[in-house]
Amino acid sequence: MLDGHKRWIGNGTFADVVVVWARSSESGQVNAFIVRKGAAGFKPTKIENKIALRCVQNADMTFERCFVPDSARLPGVESFKDTNKVLAISRIMVAWQPVGLAMGVYDVAARYVAQREQFGTPLGGFQLVQERLVRMLGNIQAMFLMAWRLSKLYEEGRMTHEQASLVKSWTTLRGREVMALGREILGGNGILTDFNIAKAFCDLEAYYTYEGTYDVNVLVAGRGITGVGAIRAPQSGKKKQAPVDVQA
């Protein structure tokens, strides 16, 4: 029997099959279950009024005495460590998303300053505009290289959860800066839907938060560096973990 509630599940409103990660009341460990659309006790509801990632329908899911047969339990999932394997892979994907979004905003900004004139001079001829373009491009290049390196480590079987969290948190943070700089360059036009900068700004906010918020991911990376978990308040006498390789 599944009882619980989960928000922000992508495509959960129309999916025929949902994989549910739930903690067993018997073992205390996390298991995974397949729940099919229309199952008794399972109710997905569309989250309305989103301003970011509007192409994705996110669901608010409720499970009330939802019966799942043991045959629908995914084999090989015995604890949250198995859940982490999925999270690590998804964080690679989310680490790449700000890279593409930032490239798009940079492209719009670069073309805009070449075409628009102020005081008889193209905006691209002003020092502060050039400074912002350089900062945007520098961030994008660094974001791309970090995401590329993370992907290579994964392909080689050497990627750690801490590395995935480090890169996901960092590219979304730097992507936020690129969005803000692009909006600045376009001035008032930066908040119009005509140029898509404002839309990208909102979408980046979603990237910054999902698949683990920025703060959660930096704390995962910080735990790898120090060997001390800080997500929860430390307990006296608790054994310290051995630090792991967070560097790429």
The CATH number assigned to the domain with range 80-226 reads: 1.20.140.10
Q: Compute φ and ψ for 235, nearest 5 degrees.
A: -100, 140
pLDDT of residue 231: 85
Mean pLDDT by 10 residues, the chain (248 residues): 94 94 92 95 96 93 96 91 85 96 97 92 93 98 98 95 95 97 95 92 95 94 92 67 69
> 117-126 pLDDT, tens per residue?
888 889 899 9
Domain residue extents for the chain: 2-72, 80-226
Second-level CATH architecture of 2-72: Beta Barrel (2.40)
Q: How far apart are CA 134 and CA 86, in angstroms?
A: 36
**What are the angstrom distances between the C-alpha of 50 and each of 8, 22, 113, 176, 227?**
11, 27, 31, 19, 38
Q: What is the pLDDT at residue 205?
A: 96
What is the three-class DSSP state of 36? Answer: strand
Contact between 203 and 99 (Cβ < 8 Å)? no
pLDDT at 82: 86
Structure confidence at residue 80 (pLDDT): 87
pLDDT attached to residue 242: 66
